[in-house]
Structure 1
Amino acid sequence: MMRRLPPFVLFLALLPMVLGCGDAGNQPADQAAGPDTGASGANEPTRGTIGFSALTLTNPFFKVIADSMKEEAAKHGYELLVVSGERDVKKQADQVSEFIVKGVSAIVLNPCDSQAIGPAIQKANEAGIPVFTNDIKYDGDAGEVVCHIATDNYQGGRLAGEAMVKLIGDSGGKVAILHFPQAESCQLRVKGFREVIDAHNAKDGAAQIEIVAVLDGGGVRDEGFKAAKDTIEANPDLAALFAINDPSALGARAALEAAGKADQVRIIAFDGQKIGKQAILEGKIVCDPVQFPDRIGKATIEQIVRHFDGDEVPEEILIPSELYYQEDAKNDPELQE
């Protein structure tokens, strides 16, 4: 005859079975779904990848754009893949093709050539990948760009012209321009600058500011040095120089120092990079219309996210520049670091 187990013994025997047969639907969500991935969510998949081909990453301005884009993209769950076209439109077109093969969600470009990049943009369009540009605008109709985000370069060029009139308007004199004509942004800067100078010269009795040379300074220090050296040799009485960015302006400054004309020829640049601000503080550059590359990068990602969310996105967003003089540099926290 089988003996009947005492109630408390029966309870102990059944306890493991009771504890082991819980309903998964009543478990905490993280346990029911599988292994705990941790509070950080580091193992969660991203929403996608955004490909960014910069004009160049040797220029700190584009590095700031890339860094701010990467930071903002992460906030929205996207990864940013950054490459550098190094001013070579063929190389940049190949990078666009690689982005397409990788299946990126969106492509952002600083066009190495405002017109020649068109077929690459069209190729991305055909693959169903939206294209955005920042700083340098696409100037063609072969492809379609959703939105362009940049400094108001025309407005900035006018500010540079106003600064030049303030600098030598009373006496007049010869001025050279260090250009980078392949970039639409630089075309706008020079256009705005010229318009202000022309308006000054048209005034009755105005001391004439004569633009004697417009040279391709390449937007880099070495080419800026060479262009300025050639200009000084051809125009020994040059009074001032407008450079479309800080690196070419600093190359020009080095050429002036080498020629013993650093005090004779004054420089107005463009950008407001830290190296430019430092040069303004030291009196090597008179002033810059400053840009805000961090705002450009952040706004680019914001518009991409809005596009994917189905919101209406403007064709162009322009961020005004501001004149920055030595007095501003003396009070700039960035230069106190």
Structure 2
Amino acid sequence: MKRRTFLQLTAGAALVGTGAFGIPAARAAGKDIVYLTPGLDLPFWRYLSKGVESVAKAKGYGFQALDSRNSPQTQLQNAQDAIAKGVAGIVISPTDSSTAPSVLTLAARAGIPVVIGDIGTNSGDYAAFIISNNYEGAKGVGEALATALKAKGWDGGSVGLVTISQARKNGQARTKGFRDGLAAGGWTGKEAGLQQMQAYTADETFKFTQDMLTANPDMRGLFVQTDQPAIGALRAIKAARRSDDILVAAFDGIPEFVDLLKSKQIVASGMQQPYLMGQKSGEALVTALGGGKVEKEVSVPILVVTSDNIDKELPTVKETVFANEMG
């Protein structure tokens, strides 16, 4: 009799402890938010992580960032570990758009909501997607570089691209936007080639830039599609003694860019607002966890910061781009 009563109580508890989305009681009660990031060695992802963390902690959740080290296998293992621990929710910036669906499938099976913070996915279910308008941001950079090249009388020279992975939807958008921006700005030269980053380091971009300079003596411009690697490009240009005849444009932003923009070593950078993106990702996830209505896609503006407008844009940049790391 006692055993029958125990079994009945257990079954009842199981029914009560399973929510409308089939989330097991232990997971539904989870109080941790996990951020799966491509690589915390890149400042952009650190700033986005801080944005997610600020919301998670303000709303009473624990927080942990798990570094995928630009490896799809590590990303999947991190996702499996987070799900096994019964986290409340996941924010993911995928290693690329083709690797996101496997994580989304695992989370959906476990009833754990996921918000995608940048990059995007080729398929799968998620609560919300927080994205920058990479096309428009890169188009603005292309137009700014074209204007600067024409002012120098260099609009007939070649321009090289060092890009993020073109398997990422945001990478595809940046490349198309930049090319369209050059054309809209009246640039008439040729392209000096395109190199895709794999390690996302300054040393990698240093080598890419060296190779482009050697192969293209007429190169007058270079677009580097993320922040820290742009420093490697500047080093390579300086080592080749080409600092006076190459204009560099970048994407995203780190505190070092402020002086580089003011000195015109970088003429323009399309700065996403990663801290703000992280905050919006965290807010969307917390709303989803509370059963609230979440906007499926949220676009965060990109600031096209140039040597001419850096002083005006700097207060906003310090807060939403650099996560208040600058004094």
Q: Which has the higher contact order (CA 8 A, sep 6+)?
A: 2
Q: Is the 8 A contact 2:228 2:254 kept in 1?
A: no
Aligned residue among 250, 254, 272 for 1:291: 272
Structure 2 residue aligned with 1:281: 262
Question: Is residue 176 of structure 2 the alignment partner of residue 194 of structure 1?
Answer: no
Structure 1 residue aligned with 2:243: 262
The 4+ residue runs of structure 1 with deviation greater than 4 A are: 333-336
Structure 1 residue aligned with 2:115: 132
Q: 1:308 offset after TM fit, Å?
A: 2.1
Secondary structure in 1 matching 2:234: helix
Q: Go from structure 1 to structure 2 and tell me whether the alpha carbon gap of 1:244 and 1:236 turns closer, same or farther (over 3 Å shift).
A: same
Secondary structure in 2 matching 1:175: strand
Counterpart code for 2:158 = K
Question: Is residue 158 of structure 2 the alignment partner of residue 177 of structure 1?
Answer: no
Question: Is residue 54 of structure 2 the alignment partner of residue 71 of structure 1?
Answer: yes
TM-score using structure 1 length = 0.79
Aligned residue among 120, 123, 127 for 2:103: 120
Distance 1:320 1:336 in 2: 21
Distance 2:308 2:146 in 1: 19
Q: Is the 8 A contact 1:272 1:324 kept in 2?
A: no
Aligned residue among 40, 61, 83 for 1:57: 40
Unpaired runs of at least 5, structure 2: 1-28, 319-324
Question: Is residue 175 of structure 2 the alignment partner of residue 209 of structure 1?
Answer: no
C-alpha deviations, 1:181-222, integer Å up to 9, x for none? 24322221111111223445xxxxx55132120111343211
Question: Is residue 131 of structure 2 the alignment partner of residue 150 of structure 1?
Answer: yes
Distance 1:110 1:278 in 2: 29
Aligned residue among 70, 80, 87 for 1:87: 70
Counterpart code for 1:136 = I
Distance 2:44 2:184 in 1: 31
Q: Is the 8 A contact 2:88 2:289 kept in 1?
A: no
C-alpha deviations, 1:95-126, integer Å up to 9, x for none? 00001100011111110121023222211111
Unpaired runs of at least 5, structure 1: 1-45, 201-205
Distance 1:156 1:103 in 2: 38
Distance 1:77 1:336 in 2: 27
Secondary structure in 2 matching 1:144: coil
Question: Is residue 206 of structure 2 the alignment partner of residue 229 of structure 1?
Answer: no
Distance 1:240 1:312 in 2: 46
Instruction: Give the fraction of aligned pairs with identical amino acids, expressed as a percent.
Output: 27
Structure 2 residue aligned with 1:161: 142
RMSD between aligned alpha carbons? 2.0
Q: 1:330 offset after TM fit, Å?
A: 4.4
Q: Is the 8 A contact 1:217 1:248 kept in 2?
A: no
Secondary structure in 2 matching 1:51: strand
Q: 1:281 offset after TM fit, Å?
A: 2.6
TM-score using structure 2 length = 0.82
Q: Go from structure 1 to structure 2 and tell me whether the alpha carbon gap of 1:207 and 1:313 turns closer, same or farther (over 3 Å shift).
A: closer
Q: Go from structure 1 to structure 2 and tell me whether the alpha carbon gap of 1:84 and 1:198 turns closer, same or farther (over 3 Å shift).
A: same
Aligned residue among 201, 204, 209 for 1:220: 201
The alignment covers a number of residue pairs equal to 285
Counterpart code for 2:188 = Q
Distance 2:82 2:157 in 1: 50
Distance 2:187 2:181 in 1: 14
Distance 1:248 1:183 in 2: 18
Q: 1:238 offset after TM fit, Å?
A: 0.2
Question: Is residue 93 of structure 2 the alignment partner of residue 110 of structure 1?
Answer: yes
Secondary structure in 1 matching 2:52: helix
